[in-house]
Structure 1
Amino acid sequence: MTRDLARVLNPTSIAVIGGGAWCASIIEAAQRIGYQGRIFPVHPSGKEIAGIKAIEKLEDWDGPIDAAFIGVNRFATLEVVSSLRELGAGGAVCFASGFTEALAEDASGADLQAQLVAAAGGMPILGPNCYGFVNALDRAAIWPDQHGMQPVERGVAILTQSSNIAINLTMQRRGLPIAYMVTCGNMAQTSQAAIARQLLDDDRVTAIGLHIEGFGNLREWEALAAKAHDRGVPLVALKVGASEQAQAAAVSHTASLAGSDAGAQALLDRLGIARLHGLPAFLETLKLLHANGLLTSNKIASISCSGGEASLIADLSTARDLVFPPLSESQKQELKAALGPMVALANPLDYHTYIWRDTQAMTRAWKGMTGEGIGMTFSIVDYPHTDYTDWTCATQAALAVRAETGAPFAVVATLPELMPEHVADELMAGGVVPIMGLEEALAAAEAASHTKAPVLEPVCLPGTAEPDQVLTEAEAKEALASHGLPIPRNMVVSALDAAQACSELTPPFAVKGIGLAHKSEHGAVRLGVQASNLDEASRAVGTDTVLVEEMADGAVVELLIGVTRDPAHGFVMTVGAGGVLTEVLRDTVSLLVPSTQNQVKQALNRLKCAPLLHGYRGKPAADLDAIVAAVNAVQAYVLANADTLAEVEINPLICTAEGAVAVDALIRKASS
């Protein structure tokens, strides 16, 4: 953690500048977490606020100022930030709004934000439009509202761009120890990724959750992912919102297929950051990671005393990449000894209620569902809110299993309200994960078992030049062929004398009109044309010049390779099922440029049409190496033209048992 930001997040002295109500709220929030440092309000009246006499101006303070909360209007904020910097303050939380987040209503917001950054100089600031933070490890807070956090010895850090979501998350009662809650606001100077990266220096932080609206500086996110992996601290994200992909002028199929969120998902995948899609799953995943860390496999086991629950968790898992492995012989023997002959042994297991209240027998049976290769064992237990004393045996059995085996173990309530808070705390203290909700349990297990090391090679950052030209198909193919993409032999000729001009080409031919983006939609494509009717077909296309090329045959499958410029995430590369039904099938996977050969192969194998690539029902397999080489050729073109390129697409790439050839190509870019 950098020296100055460490000062801000663990201050021994806090200045609170603003109206009496704000000052009082800040003081009360700090006292609620047990802050023992010095805190002083600054108010021109010098009045007493929350039992503390205010000083009239900052210069009257005779000691250091580690951190400050600035609760004045946006114009006055600039003056206060400048004064704090001159006084050598550690940093500040800028609460005021009306900066870049208000551009739709006030065009001056961006200029004011730039002035704020200039006024801060090298002094770190959080915000503007920011609520600040609560540090439950060191019992410090700069927070102008209620919060529900309690002091902890270790726990997770949560960073969010939404102050209201932050408030709500502090109020969670799920047994999750939150070490830091940090709001980031507009991130005028100090970004979410930079804050998270510096929190990694605190070895009391077990996992970091990131509520992300936009990424900003991609190099900072790459540095965060690399450092988190080195420190062994998992990152999880709740990514919301849609990036601007500049699709308004897009002419390829790729732009509509990739969608506004494809770049964000591809970036998170590349960084090794697990993504969740709701706050409950986000919190339960952080809880699992805090208690167990990453899971060693996606193989799970489930125990319940009801067949209904066993069926429910099995059904819910079908939408996720999780596996219920069959019981081994040793597991069956252990379970049979504990449960007797009346229980059908399977995973998920319905153990009925024959051994209920017999903690020793329950422990033995539940132990039987753990074992080598099992990433997580779930015991489904719902504690009634009327009288749960008869369920104490389940709590004790779970704790005993964890203590005796050390295996990852969770107690799951099907409904959040059926996991009492004190039971959750007791389970967590014994290393058992108390999870609230079956779907949340599965989401957490999937996230914790699929997190991978980040890709260390930086993403290619796109240029900003406005695209003003679309290359003809022939021009696009020639440009891509110069980087190694196989294309058919072809010629661009007059539609009036095509046969004579193309005498050196071998029929059958594909004849295509020149200057049309989607030629098939204009009836400007003729396939299987013989030399004898080439002139007739060329004239029928309807353009003055035509592209005549030798037909590619022997297709095993047709694929699409497309790349679109995404200002928020880099160049998004989409591979998927190609041909005229591309947008109907919507069978695609997105990566970022550059991606390795192995990453490209993994993406191809994730496609629904992947069985065709490997040979389906006796059909030959496609030349996978040739397909990967074609993808790499497209990437090479993108890297060489990153400053000007907007989009490139190959559709289709004809994939055969002997190779791969691009029979259609499109490039949109800025003039060189």
Structure 2
Amino acid sequence: MGSVWAENVISQCRKMGFKGRVWPVHPSRTEVAGTRAFATLADLPAAPDATFIGVNRHATVDVVGALAGMGAGGAICFASGWTEAGEPELQAKLVAAAGEMPILGPNCYGVINYLDGALLWPDQHGGRRVERGVALLSQSSNIVINLTMQARGLPVAYVACLGNAAQIGLAELAGALLADDRVSALGMYVEGIDDAPALAALAEAARGAGKGIVCVKSGKTEASRTAAASHTAALAGGGAASAAFLRQAGIAEVNTLSELVETLKIFHVHGPRIGSRLCSLSCSGGEAGLVSDLAAPFGLTFPPPSEAQRQRLGEILGPIVAIANPLDYHTFIWGDGPRTTDVFSTMLSGYDAGIFVIDPPRPDRCDPSSFQPALDAIVAAQAGVGKPAFPVASLPENFDEERAIALVGAGVAPLMGLETALGALKAAQTGPGRPGWRPASTLGARATRILDEAEGKRLLDAAGVPVPRGVIGASLAEVSAKAGRLIPPLVLKGLGFAHKTEAGAVRLGLQTLDGQSEMTGAEGYLAEEMVAGGVSELLLGLRRDPVYGVTLTLGFGGVTAELLADTVTLVLPVLAEEVEAALRRLRLWPLLDGYRGRPGADVGAVVRIALQLGQVMLARPALEEIEINPLIVQSDGAVAVDALIREALQ
């Protein structure tokens, strides 16, 4: 329904071989794209199963109401100019007009069904009919159009856009796509997540059905969050929080669209997860070295082959070839299919999956036929060993599309671009979420106040978190009079500062408070016994994210916390073993573990404090943030030396 955009929908359906009935509706034309047109919805032979609405936003509301009244199956609302343009009331009217009728959008391109040739899609696309493939779901129409243009052999079953998601949200639409048995995996481009618990539940169900989900999540920087908000009016959430949520939900996250396509290829062929023990084979020492270098930033490693593998590979390849992983097998066996298959199979048998670097020559200027025995050997090795074998082109253009399609059809996933392939392999190792895990409930943005440190320390003490002994006073004289009960050295802090060090409101190592001068701007004073030594200073913070609920951040703290930027984030609820595993992911974990014979930190104490404060945050919705920096961790215990706590205004 509409003008040129709606006419494009008809053309796209015909081009894709759609066999169903198509009914154009136009007030003045008797024919649209060679198809008889109807003047009004009331003139249609029956209520349509699905409708593309290509009229302006105000008329869209009326059309949706009319379709709902006649019992139509659903509609795509193409027009823009709703909540994303500062018109939330108009969008609310649209949802009300739809009633129980499903609508996608508004501000939405629609849906492509490559399985059945049905397209409610007003623009060009690069896909073709398939019998089985992945689904692509995006909050950006242009991004998903670009993805359909891929020439990497990825079979795409569905393309769907959410637009503003006024009625149908991310998890609901994703669930509908994954419910089709012909869909093998789901790839998402996400700007904002509207229902994190529902998405976590969907990911768990998808894993149970043997289907992986991989996501590119934008909105990690302030600029991209602003762009996301202006585009879809959805909350983007923080980058660390979103990464933590996706990991804990068992959703693979990648950084680029190329990695998205390659990860989907892995999921389509091999299911939602591959193992982490990898081998790499190539006929070049340069390629073997490059694999090792490019794999390191992804945390991928290549364990050495077993003694039995070494012996057998040495028998086939001869004494000149150094048996290692990555393996440079030279070219002594090039063109010898059986021996190449034997080498590939022997190496692959000791690992979870194998990378086979191979760049066939371009067919328009060269003869690639001499590479076919090696490609056939990869296919044969995978079939014989029963483990994934990935042909990897170091440059993406070195696998032409038809060759890639043929390999996927043979059950082998060719990966394009060496660095991209390694990123995809890392993403495909993402483990499942903990069964039943859902993020805690979220709260909207609220006005808050910062508790002074004395109030904050009382809260921590009540929660069972060790804090230094201290006294408070409204004036320097008052706190000095009380400080006699403390054991020096002492710390004197001015209250009322969020960041005391920058304000010059912290004085350390004092034997007495006599002779101390007033601190400009201080609203009171706190004197404490100084906590000396310790294995390390950590930052431990909890905050309410508007999208993901309560998040826990752990890292190396003190005055260099932002400089080190060595932190990990989890979304609550969490288990003790998950907190400890997160600590082990810190770059400076060896310092906690007892570096070079030094005493190790009491990691158990850190875990207990994290869990205790997590329970406090979940039990007290008024609390917005708790940050301990530093938490001085000793070989036996940990002490919260400084704290910043925010709570909602009543």
Checking the alignment, whether the CA contact within 8 Å between 1:268 and 1:275 is kept in structure 2 is: yes
Match of 1:92 in 2: 75
Checking the alignment, whether the CA contact within 8 Å between 2:306 and 2:350 is kept in structure 1 is: no
Are positions 1:632 and 2:611 aligned together? yes
Matches within 5 A, 1:190-229: 190-229=168-207
Match of 2:494 in 1: 513
Match of 1:11 in 2: none
Q: Which moved more, 1:488-497 or 1:414-423?
A: 488-497
Normalised by the length of structure 1, the TM-score is: 0.91
Number of equivalences: 637
Mapped partners of 2:583, 2:383: distance in 1: 43
SS at the partner of 1:281? helix
Match of 2:233 in 1: none
Are positions 1:495 and 2:488 aligned together? no
Mapped partners of 2:34, 2:442: distance in 1: 55
Are positions 1:326 and 2:309 aligned together? no
Mapped partners of 1:542, 1:69: distance in 2: 63
Mapped partners of 1:541, 1:82: distance in 2: 64
Checking the alignment, whether the CA contact within 8 Å between 1:510 and 1:526 is kept in structure 2 is: yes
Q: Which amino acid aligns with 1:161?
A: Q
1:304-341 Cα offsets, whole Å, 9 max, x none, are: 11111111111101111211111112222332232223
Match of 1:254 in 2: none
Q: Which amino acid aligns with 1:188?
A: A
1:407-439 Cα offsets, whole Å, 9 max, x none, are: 201111111211022211221122111111101
Q: 2:456 aligns with which of 464, 470, 476?
A: 476
Are positions 1:641 and 2:624 aligned together? no
Q: 2:2 aligns with which of 15, 18, 23?
A: 18
Are positions 1:58 and 2:38 aligned together? no
Matches within 5 A, 1:446-485: 446-454=426-434, 456-464=436-444, 466-485=446-465
Q: 2:505 aligns with which of 499, 524, 531?
A: 524
Matches within 5 A, 1:155-194: 155-194=133-172
Matches within 5 A, 1:197-596: 197-242=175-220, 260-385=238-363, 386=365, 387-454=367-434, 456-464=436-444, 466-493=446-473, 494-530=475-511, 533-537=512-516, 539=518, 543=522, 545-596=524-575
1:494-543 Cα offsets, whole Å, 9 max, x none, are: 4114444233333322221122222222322222222xx22324757884
**Please, which runs of 5 or more residues in structure 2 have no aligned partner?**
227-236
| Deviation for aligned residue 1:451 | 2.9
Are positions 1:127 and 2:105 aligned together? yes
| Deviation for aligned residue 1:489 | 1.6
Match of 1:73 in 2: 56
Mapped partners of 1:485, 1:149: distance in 2: 58
Distance 1:369 1:554, change over 3 A: same
SS at the partner of 1:535? coil
Mapped partners of 1:271, 1:438: distance in 2: 28
Mapped partners of 2:568, 2:129: distance in 1: 44
Are positions 1:600 and 2:611 aligned together? no
Q: Which amino acid aligns with 2:491?
A: A
Mapped partners of 1:227, 1:639: distance in 2: 26
Distance 1:540 1:153, change over 3 A: closer
Mapped partners of 2:472, 2:541: distance in 1: 24
Checking the alignment, whether the CA contact within 8 Å between 1:136 and 1:150 is kept in structure 2 is: yes
SS at the partner of 1:96? coil
Q: Which amino acid aligns with 1:423?
A: R
Mapped partners of 1:142, 1:518: distance in 2: 55
Mapped partners of 1:397, 1:408: distance in 2: 13
| Deviation for aligned residue 1:243 | 7.6
Mapped partners of 1:497, 1:479: distance in 2: 23
1:265-319 Cα offsets, whole Å, 9 max, x none, are: 1221221111111111110110011111244421211111111111111110111
Mapped partners of 1:212, 1:498: distance in 2: 53
SS at the partner of 2:414? strand
Checking the alignment, whether the CA contact within 8 Å between 2:305 and 2:350 is kept in structure 1 is: no
Mapped partners of 1:612, 1:168: distance in 2: 46
SS at the partner of 2:294? helix
Mapped partners of 1:310, 1:616: distance in 2: 32
Match of 1:137 in 2: 115
Checking the alignment, whether the CA contact within 8 Å between 1:244 and 1:566 is kept in structure 2 is: no
Match of 1:150 in 2: 128
1:192-251 Cα offsets, whole Å, 9 max, x none, are: 221111222212211100100111122321222222222221110011124879x99xxx
Mapped partners of 1:539, 1:169: distance in 2: 63
Mapped partners of 2:20, 2:80: distance in 1: 28
Distance 1:512 1:574, change over 3 A: same
Checking the alignment, whether the CA contact within 8 Å between 1:369 and 1:377 is kept in structure 2 is: no
SS at the partner of 1:119? helix
Distance 1:165 1:497, change over 3 A: closer
Checking the alignment, whether the CA contact within 8 Å between 1:497 and 1:535 is kept in structure 2 is: no
| Deviation for aligned residue 1:359 | 1.4
Mapped partners of 2:122, 2:386: distance in 1: 42
Checking the alignment, whether the CA contact within 8 Å between 1:467 and 1:645 is kept in structure 2 is: no
Q: Which amino acid aligns with 1:627?
A: V
Checking the alignment, whether the CA contact within 8 Å between 1:378 and 1:412 is kept in structure 2 is: yes
Q: Which amino acid aligns with 1:68?
A: T
Q: 1:662 aligns with which of 617, 640, 646?
A: 640
SS at the partner of 2:531? coil
Mapped partners of 1:580, 1:483: distance in 2: 25
Distance 1:550 1:357, change over 3 A: same
Distance 1:289 1:383, change over 3 A: farther
Match of 1:10 in 2: none
Distance 1:218 1:359, change over 3 A: same
Checking the alignment, whether the CA contact within 8 Å between 1:377 and 1:409 is kept in structure 2 is: yes
Distance 1:465 1:137, change over 3 A: closer
1:109-138 Cα offsets, whole Å, 9 max, x none, are: 211111111110111111111111111222
SS at the partner of 2:203? helix
Q: Which moved more, 1:150-159 or 1:540-549?
A: 540-549
Aligned-residue CA RMSD (Å): 2.2
Checking the alignment, whether the CA contact within 8 Å between 2:213 and 2:272 is kept in structure 1 is: no
Distance 1:526 1:23, change over 3 A: closer
Q: Which amino acid aligns with 2:531?
A: A
Q: Which amino acid aligns with 2:66?
A: S
SS at the partner of 2:628? strand
Distance 1:659 1:41, change over 3 A: same
Normalised by the length of structure 2, the TM-score is: 0.94
